[in-house]
């Protein structure tokens, strides 16, 4: 069982204290767990950057976890597959006819690119492992802005159709980067998977996740930024070109945050929860994986095992590597499973081969390392995304955590 030594705790305390003192990033939370329990927890700073009157960030402070939402939505779909209500082989067009005439774009960087009809049927399995061909627009991939489909006002009469309309733009069909099943692209796969969960169950994604994931694990999370969540949340900070931080106003357009206007539940980016609650989800998955869970899990051991198993075709490896090359926190080659990225080698001084990981656009990160028996969550709220100071601290905390582990 992995534990932190007294010297390991002291070393982490020192890193956290220095980061808090230097104030190079806004308030943050860092927490780690072994298979059984939390082994380190620290919360620091204020809910509004440099404003003590806003109150302290606490372990239970809600964050907008952005793409950490994807894992939760994939869990929902995998639950339905286990129950026989959904199949990995099912065609996406069986749920949404808009996908029956998808087109493959020759140059996704060009607004006037040529295209051709897709020849391959897009299936649920392609959404799970991000080989669907669905992609985020170039500006979103570069972390400059969110995709237009995330930002358009929500249609209450037919929210899915409106989402698809914005995705299509002036094209005759849903645009794809490549034929489904042949490559990797980071994009709208999780959103469409969430729409399928709603279609199969007759429930909103919010209702389904509350009933089948959040409630069983006693997690406080929601796609709605309710007044209560908003009041308790950490505010997003913005780093100016001169390096200074200020509370974000309108520098970057965000998803709909008025709960009364939300009718599209965005499975790629839409959940608000505390990082401590997210850690409890990761610990639950590690408990299932290790066989140590003493209650009914939210997924079967076989399905959880597949979360850590590479699922990309050979060509997808290069595309994933190209996507993560600019991230200094992603050393070495990696793969993708049915829900998230997977390490294919040890990261020196950090997580081990076979760890599953990802992050959130507004400054959150996580991983599960079943070899060591450790789960890790760290985050703040800051834009532009991939802030170098945040990445630097996140990496240092992980290295310090591993250096301080002992096994009992």
**Structure confidence at residue 140 (pLDDT):** 53
Owner of token pair 């980061």? 19
Q: Which of 116-120, 329-333, 394-398 has the lowest mean pLDDT?
A: 329-333
**Structure confidence at residue 139 (pLDDT):** 61
Cα 169 to the chain's mean position, in Å? Answer: 26
pLDDT of residue 44 exceeding 70? yes
Average pLDDT of 97-102? Answer: 96
- DSSP letters spanning 104-173: EES-TT-TT--EEE--SPPBHHHHHTT-S-----HHHHTTSS--HHHHSPPPSSSHHHHHHHHHHTTSSS
Average pLDDT of 368-388? Answer: 97
pLDDT band at 67 (very low <50, low <70, confident <90, very high): very high
Q: Which is higher by pLDDT, 245 or 295?
A: 245
Closest of 344, 133, 188, 348 to residue 357, by C-alpha: 344
Round to whole Å and give the CA distance between 371 and 350: 12
Report yes or no: 135 and 186 within 8 Å, Cβ to Cβ: yes
Cβ neighbours for 92, distance < 8 A, ≥ 6 positions apart: 99, 122, 123, 124, 126, 127, 132, 192, 196
Round to whole Å and give the CA distance between 354 and 20: 32
**Structure confidence at residue 110 (pLDDT):** 86
**Structure confidence at residue 143 (pLDDT):** 59
Q: pLDDT for 131-145, tens place per residue?
A: 999 999 876 555 568
Would you say how long the chain is, in residues? 408
**Structure confidence at residue 91 (pLDDT):** 98
pLDDT band at 328 (very low <50, low <70, confident <90, very high): low
Average pLDDT of 165-191? Answer: 96
Q: Which is higher by pLDDT, 15 or 332?
A: 15
Average pLDDT of 110-133? Answer: 96
**Structure confidence at residue 326 (pLDDT):** 57
Q: pLDDT for 299-315, tens place per residue?
A: 999 999 999 999 999 99
Tokens of 256: 């709909």
pLDDT band at 373 (very low <50, low <70, confident <90, very high): very high
pLDDT of residue 330 exceeding 80? no
Average pLDDT of 154-181? Answer: 93
Average pLDDT of 21-35? Answer: 97
- Would you list the domain boundaries of the chain? 2-69+205-209+219-407, 74-201
pLDDT band at 154 (very low <50, low <70, confident <90, very high): confident
User: Residues of the chain with pLDDT > 70: what percent?
Assistant: 97
When the pLDDT of each residue in the chain is averaged and rounded to a whole number, the result is 95
Round to whole Å and give the CA distance between 353 and 371: 8
pLDDT band at 329 (very low <50, low <70, confident <90, very high): low
**Structure confidence at residue 209 (pLDDT):** 98
Give CATH for domain 2-69+205-209+219-407: 3.40.710.10
pLDDT band at 14 (very low <50, low <70, confident <90, very high): very high
pLDDT band at 324 (very low <50, low <70, confident <90, very high): confident
Whole-angstrom distance between the N-terminal and C-terminal Cα of the chain? 5
Cα 146 to the chain's mean position, in Å? Answer: 14
CA dihedral 39, 308, 68, 52 (to 10 degrees): 20
What's the pTM?
0.96
């Amino acid at each position: 069982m992995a534990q932190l030594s007294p010297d390991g705790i002291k070393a982490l305390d020192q890193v956290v204290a220095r980061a808090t003192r230097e104030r190079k990033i806004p308030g943050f939370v860092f927490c780690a767990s072994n298979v059984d329990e939390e082994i380190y927890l620290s919360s620091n700073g204020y809910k509004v950057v440099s404003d003590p009157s806003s109150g302290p960030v606490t372990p239970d402070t809600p964050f907008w976890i952005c793409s950490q939402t994807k894992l939760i939505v994939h869990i929902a779909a995998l639950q339905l597959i286990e129950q026989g209500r959904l199949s990995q082989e099912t065609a996406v067009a069986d749920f949404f006819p808009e996908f029956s005439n998808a087109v493959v774009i020759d140059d996704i960087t060009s607004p006037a690119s040529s295209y051709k009809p897709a020849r391959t049927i897009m299936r649920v399995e392609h959404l799970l492992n991000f080989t669907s061909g669905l992609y985020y627009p170039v500006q979103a991939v570069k972390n400059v802005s969110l995709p237009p489909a995330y930002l358009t006002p929500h249609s209450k009469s037919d929210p899915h159709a409106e989402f698809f309309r914005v995705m299509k733009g002036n094209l005759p069909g849903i645009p794809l980067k490549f034929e489904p099943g042949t490559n990797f692209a980071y994009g709208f796969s999780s959103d469409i998977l969430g729409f399928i969960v709603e279609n199969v169950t007759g429930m909103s994604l919010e209702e389904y996740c509350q009933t089948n994931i959040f409630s069983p694990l006693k997690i406080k999370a929601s796609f709605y930024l309710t007044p209560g969540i908003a009041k308790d949340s950490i505010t997003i900070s913005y780093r100016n070109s001169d390096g200074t931080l200020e509370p974000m106003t309108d520098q970057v357009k965000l998803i709909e945050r008025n709960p009364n206007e939300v009718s599209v539940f965005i499975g790629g980016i839409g959940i608000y929860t505390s990082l401590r609650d997210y850690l409890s989800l990761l610990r639950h998955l590690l408990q299932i994986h290790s066989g140590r869970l003493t209650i009914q899990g939210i997924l079967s051991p076989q399905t959880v095992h597949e979360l850590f198993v590479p699922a990309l075709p050979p060509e997808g490896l290069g595309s994933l590597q190209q996507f993560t090359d600019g991230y200094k926190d992603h050393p070495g080659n990696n793969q993708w499973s049915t829900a998230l990225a997977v390490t294919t080698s040890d990261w020196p001084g950090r997580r081990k081969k076979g760890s599953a990981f990802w992050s959130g656009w507004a400054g959150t990160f996580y991983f599960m390392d079943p070899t060591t028996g450790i789960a890790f969550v760290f985050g703040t709220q800051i834009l532009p995304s991939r802030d170098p100071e945040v990445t630097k601290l996140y990496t240092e905390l992980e290295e310090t955590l591993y250096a301080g582990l002992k096994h009992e």
